[in-house]
Amino acid sequence: MKRRQLIRQLTRAGCTLLQSGSRHDVYLNPRTGQKQPVPRHTEIDNALARHICKYLGID
């Protein structure tokens, strides 16, 4: 999955960028209070993308 697609999916679900780093960005789901790092690679493995969404409480 492209990183841009994952970020678009996270922001549409209400997640916000909490912290920007050199290798990862941290996104926060304000409804659940969960934080999850998202790598800055252009391609993100589908299993990792599913894990990020599941942890943040997104379908």
Domain 3-56, CATH: 3.30.920
Which residue is it, tokens 């990792």? 48
Query: For the packed helices 46-56 and 3-12, what is the interaxial angle rounded to 10 degrees?
Result: 20
How much is the pLDDT for 29?
A: 97
pLDDT digits (tens, 9 = 90+) for 1-59: 999 999 999 999 999 999 999 999 999 999 999 999 999 999 999 999 999 999 999 98
What DSSP line would sit under 4-43, residue for residue? HHHHHHHHHTT-EEEEE-SSEEEEEETTTTEEEEEE--SB
How much is the pLDDT for 36?
A: 97
How much is the pLDDT for 59?
A: 81
Neighbour-count burial of 37, counting CB atoms closer than 10 A to its CB (0-12 exposed, 13-18 middle, 19+ buried): middle
Domain spans in the chain, listed from the N-terminal domain onward = 3-56
